[in-house]
Chains A and B, each alone.
Chain A
């Protein structure tokens, strides 16, 4: 018996992400995603051994410890219920905690779920609390990240249009994903490029929306995988890394923690050339320019070269390294769930269940999330076949 149990993803469920789900409570929202994941796995509440839930900071929705109130809705009564929190990367780290429980043979079948109801929250102000004795300068995440985008453009020499190419691609990909929030049928590159400049160099159309949504997955051991009605995805590697928000020598353009996290995942998965060996990537791109930035950080391109993959169409759905075929965070952003959606979309690709945004023949896919001030990273690599043991 191998030291670790192989971990399979046997069920995936999402809500249709929208600006406001006024018809359901938070409990009703998470329930919908969880039920769909169970249905995908042909399992019921009684089959679940433990529940691992994640969401963004409590301040966003003003619910302290939402996991307490959601125990009923998630069928967690009488079972372990854990809550994970790592800012925007939380959806990814939540899935990794769940995977660890199966890998360690603590539990055999684990439901993991993440959500956000941004319509009922104050994410903008929750991120920008006034602090006495400090000069208030900024509100929201865009202004925080825009200077780092400018630094990337300066450092790489990328043409100013690269960000708009990413947004144009992701919004078109979203048209193929029925669960995506934004379905901009009349989208054109010109519309993206003429949208208002919010935090120069970030334009309106290059920013993520505010969404209500939830995403859930059912993780199982090898025996559970053999009973699953559809092909499972197998976890070949997973890792988390953190670093301080601000420190002397911090590289906001390509944080060391992100590089280390990716290297760990590739080592676990036996990946030596990610650009050739990985078939699809779901990465956390809340502002368009983060695609070329993360392409470099994750080792798909040399430093300063990531934008060339974007510009040459490599990251398009038909390219040889499709990035965010689902439409990504740029099209759907229920913050706490956004990381898990990346992980789940990677799963759908290798299970050949991504529908109209399926990357043909995808065998290995990377799910990636980051959070805080580019300080929390979580990633997993999933494959169509079980990992070699």
Chain B
């Protein structure tokens, strides 16, 4: 097809735009392993699972990625760990763990062999590096979700096996610790950078005495077997999902919408099969060619078929029962869908002649009502069923 508009093609219409938000609170049943993991977070305990090959996966999975066997050999790992890689997020969005700029990090918790994805609260990218020590900052209110870990915070000279903060039952709590974390991370990033800065701000938490045997080695934080059993386990979570779009209907739909604003109903005729499409879509779905010829249709039409809706939809402001009908407008080659009113619902019938009813400021006919004409003969619309 040529990129040049065919002669007689309508000029490009003004294309309206509108926000379209799609949002659902999905639920998830957890199964035994995820249930233990999330309930553990509520209890400030991080659980992993040991594979047949001896690796410890955090977060845990239900099936061994290597052998495919079901696994449930849970272990408790440390709440401090090492950043294995990271990316700076300068512009946090709705629903992300922190409102201020932060680093996405993969943290290999002490005793784990895999990285846990989470947020690291740090003052800037200069304060983050691969290999830095971090620890969990627990959320104040925990209910059994990954957000029970509010975020990670720098813990630069924290030895393996120690470290956690927050949760509100320690001195300072999460809010104060936030400041301390910033200071520590900043100092570590600029002054030392090798985890040996040893500032006093890092001396908090359950720190392992450097003199103790095994301190600073992974063995000190070796994962301990855990039954995964907790009182009142969490068995499901709600996972809200939201997508934000800017909706633009496209040129053909826009011409249709703009005509409706002037109380005209327009279709487009296919240059190949000559069928008139209402609403138009800019192309004929059977011939696969662009459509541009504008054709006025209706406003009267024939009910080809319908149903009587008796279920009140929670997102629709329509009282039940109501009639949802397919209406073949005069001059159109397929029916559009609309509501019928102005007649008792149980008197609507196939072949009923109807016309649109407009409301002030409405973008489309509110509904269709009987014209009073005799019903259309079945043979006049049977091909449009």
Please name the residue on chain A nearest to B385 by beta carbon: A151
Taking the closest CB of chain A, its distance from the CB of B284, in whole angstroms, is 8
Determine if B16 is an interface residue (Cβ-Cβ < 8 Å).
yes
Knowing that A119-B27, A120-B27 touch, tell me 11 more A-B residue pairs with CB under 8 angstroms.
Answer: A21-B29, A25-B29, A25-B30, A45-B67, A72-B63, A73-B63, A133-B249, A133-B257, A143-B307, A248-B275, A251-B385
With A27-B31, A28-B31, A147-B305 known as contacts, the answer to whether A138 contacts B20 (CB < 8 A) is no
Q: Check: B375 CB closer than 8 A to any chain A CB.
A: no
Q: What string of 1s and 0s marks CB contacts (under 8 Å) between A125-147 and chain B? A: 11011111111111110110011
- Complex interface residues of chain B between 312 and 364 (CB less than 8 A to chain A): 313-316, 318, 321, 324-326, 333-334, 337-339, 350, 363-364
Instruction: Find chain B residues with CB under 8 A from A150 CB.
Output: 305-307, 350
- Please list the residues of chain B having a beta carbon within 8 angstroms of any beta carbon in chain A: 16, 18-20, 22, 24, 26-31, 34, 61-70, 235-236, 239, 241, 247, 249, 253, 257, 273, 275-277, 284-286, 304-311, 313-316, 318, 321, 324-326, 333-334, 337-339, 350, 363-364, 378, 382-383, 385
Q: Answer whether A131 and B20 are a contact pair too, CB < 8 Å, given A151-B304, A154-B350.
A: yes
Q: In the complex, what distance in Å separates the CA atom of A62 from the CA atom of B385?
A: 35
A22 in the interface, Cβ–Cβ < 8 Å?
Answer: yes
In the complex, are the beta carbons of A248 and B286 less than 8 A apart? yes
Q: Which residues does chain A contribute within 8 Å of B286, judged by CB atoms?
A: 244, 247-249
Closest chain-B Cβ to A145's Cβ sits at a distance in Å of 9
Contact of A132 among B20, B307, B318, B378 (CB under 8 A): B20
Which chain A positions have C-beta within 8 A of B318?
137
Residue of B whose beta carbon sits closest to that of A31:
B63
Residue A184 at the chain B interface, CB threshold 8 Å: no
Q: Does A355 contact B (CB under 8 A)?
A: no
- A residues in contact with B385, CB < 8 Å: 151, 154-155, 251-253
Residues of A close to B62: CB separation below 8 A: 25, 27-28, 31, 72-73
Residue in B18, B61, B275, B308 whose CB lies within 8 Å of A72: B61
A273 to chain B, nearest CB (A): 29
A259 to B333 Cα, complex, angstroms: 23
Q: Is the CB of A62 within 8 A of B285?
A: no
Q: Which of A100-108, A171-179, A199-207, A325-333 contacts B (4 or more CB under 8 A)?
A: A199-207
Closest A residue, CB atoms, query B24: A122
Smallest CB separation, A51 vs chain B (Å): 11
Chain B residues with CB under 8 Å of A250's CB are 334
- Give the chain A neighbours of B338 by CB distance below 8 A: 135, 137
Residues of B within 8 A of A119 (CB): 27, 29
Is A72 within 8 A of B65, CB to CB? yes
Cross-chain contact B68 with A249 (CB below 8 angstroms) = no
Are A200 and B310 neighbours in the complex by a CB distance under 8 Å?
yes
In the bound complex, CA of A25 to CA of B237 (Å): 11
Least Cβ–Cβ distance between A347 and chain B, in angstroms = 24
Q: Interface 1/0s, chain A 17-34, versus B by CB < 8 A?
A: 000111111111001000
Given contacts A150-B307, A154-B350, contact A139 B313 (CB under 8 A): yes
A-B contact pairs, 29 of them (CB 8 A): A20-B29, A22-B236, A23-B235, A31-B62, A31-B63, A31-B70, A117-B29, A119-B27, A120-B29, A125-B24, A128-B313, A128-B315, A131-B20, A132-B20, A133-B363, A133-B364, A139-B314, A140-B313, A147-B307, A148-B305, A151-B305, A154-B378, A155-B382, A155-B385, A199-B310, A199-B311, A200-B308, A246-B285, A248-B333
How many A residues touch the partner, as a band? Answer: 35 or more
Which A residues, 42 to 71, have Cβ-Cβ distances below 8 Å to chain B?
45-46, 59, 61-62, 71
Q: Would you call B24 and A200 a contact (CB within 8 A)?
A: no
Q: A28-B62, A72-B62, A202-B307 are in contact. Are A133 and B275 (CB under 8 A)?
A: no
| Structural contact, A136 and B236, CB atoms closer than 8 A | no
Flag if B339 contacts A199 (CB, 8 Å). no
Q: Chain B residue with minimal CB distance to A20?
A: B29
In A161-206, which residues have CB < 8 Å from any B CB? 196-202
| A252: chain B residues within 8 A (beta carbon) | 385
Which residue of A75, A117, A134, A147 contacts B325 across the interface (Cβ within 8 Å)? A147
Measured between beta carbons, the chain A residues less than 8 angstroms from B382 are: 155
B337 cross-chain contacts in A, Cβ below 8 A: 137-138
Chain A residues with CB under 8 Å of B26's CB are 61-62, 120-122
Contacts of A25 in B (CB 8 A): 28-31, 34, 62
Once the chains are docked, how many angstroms separate the CA of A100 from the CA of B248?
Answer: 40
Question: Shortest CB–CB separation between residue A85 and chain B, in angstroms?
Answer: 18
A77 within 8 A of B: yes
For residue B315, which residues in chain A have a CB less than 8 angstroms away from its CB? 125, 128, 130, 136, 139
A125 to B305 Cα, complex, angstroms? 24
How near does chain B come to A230, taking the closest CB pair, in angstroms?
Answer: 23
In the bound complex, CA of A64 to CA of B20 (Å):
19
CA–CA, A363 to B42, complex, Å? 57
Please state if A133 and B253 are interface contacts (CB–CB under 8 Å).
yes
